[in-house]
Structure 1
Amino acid sequence: MTATSAFFERLTVAGQDPRFSNVCGSVRFDIRDGDRLEQWLLNIDHGRMRVTRSAGPAETVIRVSAEVAEAMARGEVNGLAAITRGEILVDGDLAMALRIGRLFPRASEQADSDGRK
């Protein structure tokens, strides 16, 4: 399992995130790995998270390479910095894309969960 798949699996299992209790919307992640396109659709309804592998429509679409997506899922890359560098392209609601960044681990959180300091 890739770090990206594990990230989306964690969202599915958690099902709810109180930080998003006032948020409703949809975000699709288009993750490109060479000729392969992996798509994940995240629907948020007042903090309730539902993730599916879908090319369905979304209010916000985040386009990213598999390499950058993996690094974000491991807490090695900051989403805002990646947007600024042009490594992530956002179509739709930029504010929603920036909020979604809170779902990704930070390097310090990842190190703590791995038992490292």
Structure 2
Amino acid sequence: MTATSAFFERLTVAGQDPRFSKVCGSIRFDIRDGDHLEQWRLNIDHGRMQVTKGPDPATTVIRVSAQVAEAMARGEVNGLAAIARGEILVDGDLGLALRIGRLFPRAPGPSHGDADSGA
């Protein structure tokens, strides 16, 4: 199991996150590894999280390489910094894309200043 699939599995198991009680929206992650495209869709309805796989439409689409997605899922890459570097492309609600950064793990210790806040 990859760190990315483990990340989405954790969201599925958790099912609810009180930090998102005022959030409604959907985010599709288009994760590319060469010619392979993996798509995960996260639906948030007042904190209730539902994860599915597939190309379902979403209000926000995040396009990222498998390498960057893996690093984010391990807490090694800050999503905002990756957006600024052009490693992540966001179509749709940028505010929602930035807000879900709280779902990603943070790297331990102050030496990883690039991992402060996820996507």
Query: What is the TM-score normalised by the length of structure 1?
Result: 0.92
Give distance in 2, aligned partners of 1:54 and 1:38: 8
Give distance in 2, aligned partners of 1:54 and 1:108: 32
Measured after TM superposition, the shift of residue 54 of structure 1 is: 1.6
Measured after TM superposition, the shift of residue 59 of structure 1 is: 0.2
Identity over the aligned pairs, expressed in percent?
A: 85
Runs of 4+ in 1 over 3 A off after TM superposition: none
| 1:77 is aligned to 2:80 | no
Structure showing the higher helix proportion among its residues:
1
Structure 1 counterpart SS, 2:98: helix
Gaps of 5+ in 1: 110-117
Aligned residues: 109
Gaps of 5+ in 2: 110-119
CA deviations 1:61-104 (Å, max 9, x no partner) are: 00000000000000000000000000000000000000011100
Give distance in 2, aligned partners of 1:28 and 1:108: 27
Query: What is the TM-score normalised by the length of structure 2?
Result: 0.90
Tell me which amino acid in the other structure corresponds to 1:96: L
Tell me which amino acid in the other structure corresponds to 1:55: P
RMSD: 0.9
| 1:13 is aligned to 2:3 | no
Give distance in 1, aligned partners of 2:79 and 2:102: 9
| 2:27 aligned partner | 27
| 1:46 aligned partner | 46
| 2:60 aligned partner | 60
Give distance in 2, aligned partners of 1:108 and 1:9: 22
Give distance in 1, aligned partners of 2:62 and 2:106: 19
